[in-house]
Amino acid sequence: MMMPRPQKYRDVIKFLRSQGWVVLRQGKGSHVIWGQPDGSSWLSIPAHGEISAGIVKQLVRIFPNAPEGWR
C-alpha cells in the first residue's frame, strides 16, 4: 500500500461527520478528539490546515470506505 497523501482539514472533518463521528472533547493544544458518540472508537485530529499522511493512513484503516483519493 502506498502512503496516503495529506488532506485538507475541512475535507477530513466533512468525511468524519458523514460517518457519524462527533467531537468528543478538546485535546491538547490544537488537537480535537473525534470519535463515535459512544466513545468506543476515537482519534486525535490536529485542527489546522492540513492533516498529515500518517493520520490519513489511520483513517483509511478505520474506514474502508474512505475516499479513493486518500489512498
Residues 40 and 6: their CA atoms lie apart, in Å, by 26
Please identify every stretch of the chain with a pLDDT value under 50, giving residue numbers as ranges. none
List 35's β-bridge partners, or say none. 22, 42
State the pairing for strand pair 42-46/22-26: unpaired
pLDDT at position 15: 98
Amino acid at 69: G
16 contacts: CB under 8 Å, gap ≥ 6: 34, 45, 59
pLDDT value of position 65: 95
